[in-house]
Amino acid sequence: MKFGYFCNTTNWTHKPYHELLDETREITEYCDQNKWNSIWYTEHHFNHEGMESLTNPLMMGVDAAARTKDIRIGQACNVITFHNPIRMAEDIALLDQLSKGRVEIGIGRGIYGREAINLNKEADMKDQAKNFRLFEETLTILKKAWKEKFFNHKGEFYTYPAPDYVWQHDMSPPNKDLVNLETNVMENISVLPKPYQKPCPPIHQVVDGVRSIEWAAQQGLNIIMWIPTVKALKIKFEAFKNAKSEAEKRNVPMGEGISLVRDMFVANTMEEAKEKAGEHMVNYMRWVCHWRGLGNHMDPGEELPITKGKLDLLSYDFLHKRNMLFGTPEYVVDKIHELKSELNLQNLQVWSNFPGIKHEDCMKSIKLFTEKVMPHFKDDIDTEVKKVS
């Protein structure tokens, strides 16, 4: 079992932003010093409410790379439909060079309409088919930029190099890999730097539905999931396993290539966990489920009572039994063992810095998880450390 910290930086109390950054750094440095495998930063925009307050996971990754030694640095995720693919390829490769190959690339299509329409109108969430085509083309360009010394691309959204551009420079001799030798019109382009990891760092797509899960497997991507119950996850894990096995012509083990995010708060008693963090987590889910509803929290075939409002059933007790790692170390250990037993889970990401939570309570939860939960999976952690070293 590899443990990662999902650092969904929130600022519900609207503290000065530099304080938020200092708290994020404390989490990052603690995890690095205590054998966590990875830390993952998120990307969200325009969230004046404070539910999600980090706009650039790559810049946070640069800060983390300078402050840490061993921990792998991920993004959950870069919303690649918002960004110029060449610039994003450069930035991710530069971070991989700065960290000496500690990057885990996370990619996604975006979920919030106000972000997409204001950052790239082509990514408008109202046209899901177009958004996916943009996502697919952007990913194609990223891979070309990392893996090929010179490349070109002509698609629906991007053309590289720009058509009919003439390149002539005394210090840049004509090169058939770059230009047409008769006209000096650029036919290819080269992006620098290339990643430290060859041909590129591992790529993880944040996914939800089975179609996205199967597509990611067919493209050779890893996946990250978050909310579903164990029974619902089993169907999704099997879909990924089957699609990956078919694509790679081998029997892929259950759980390979999958990371699961879980909401985590460890305390001395079950009551303390609920008291200190329960309502904060429920409040965050009210934000998320405003769009998603409660469907992602349900077991296959489960039917919920009809209520006047779509979130009337949302409560701590509703969530806790379905997907929350909230409680004593013993309780959390048992729940993780269930994930391993039922799903052969190999990569678990957890987070405790929910909107409104006190930072000292968050850190106490992380430390209890480190000291009282992770040792139960010590053989897994030690094996991974040996691989890295």
DSSP state letters, 16-55: -HHHHHHHHHHHHHHHHHTT--EEEE----S-TTSS----
| Strand 153-154 with 159-160, pairing | antiparallel
Question: Looking at residue 364, what is its pLDDT?
Answer: 98
Does the pLDDT value for residue 102 go beyond 70? yes
pLDDT in tens, 266-280: 999 999 999 999 999
pLDDT in tens, 193-240: 999 999 999 999 999 999 999 999 999 999 999 999 999 999 999 999
Question: Looking at residue 383, what is its pLDDT?
Answer: 52
Q: Which residue has the higher pLDDT, 387 or 236?
A: 236
Does the pLDDT value for residue 258 go beyond 60? yes
**Confidence label for 334 from pLDDT (cuts 50, 70 and 90):** very high
- Mean pLDDT on 78-90: 98
- Mean pLDDT on 343-350: 98
Question: Looking at residue 292, what is its pLDDT?
Answer: 84
What's the whole-number average pLDDT of the chain?
96
- Mean pLDDT on 171-175: 94
CB count in 10 Å sphere of residue 285: 24
- Mean pLDDT on 185-192: 97
Question: Looking at residue 380, what is its pLDDT?
Answer: 61
Question: Looking at residue 381, what is its pLDDT?
Answer: 53
**Confidence label for 378 from pLDDT (cuts 50, 70 and 90):** confident
For residue 42, give Cα distances in angstroms to 57, 76, 97, 260, 376: 5, 5, 20, 15, 28
CA count, 13 A, side-chain hemisphere, 181: 5
Phi, then psi, of 333 in degrees rounded to 5: -60, -45
- Mean pLDDT on 230-251: 98
- Mean pLDDT on 318-338: 98
Alpha-carbon gap, residue 367 to 364, rounded angstroms: 5
CB count in 10 Å sphere of residue 385: 12
Question: Looking at residue 257, what is its pLDDT?
Answer: 98
- Mean pLDDT on 83-88: 98
SS (H, E, C) 68-104: CCCCEEEECCEEHHHCCHHHHHHHHHHHHHHCCCCEE
Across-strand partners of 222? 204
- Mean pLDDT on 8-24: 97
Question: Looking at residue 382, what is its pLDDT?
Answer: 55
CA nearest neighbour of 348 among 271, 248, 233, 267: 233
CA count, 13 A, side-chain hemisphere, 233: 26
Alpha-carbon gap, residue 131 to 109, rounded angstroms: 7
Does the pLDDT value for residue 384 go beyond 80? no
What 3-state class would DSSP assign to 122? helix
Does the pLDDT value for residue 386 go beyond 70? no
Return the percentage of the chain with pLDDT > 70, whole number.
Answer: 97
Phi-psi category of residue 220: left, alpha or beta, with phi > 0 → left and psi -120 to 50 → alpha: left
Alpha-carbon gap, residue 27 to 330, rounded angstroms: 23
Does the pLDDT value for residue 63 go beyond 80? yes
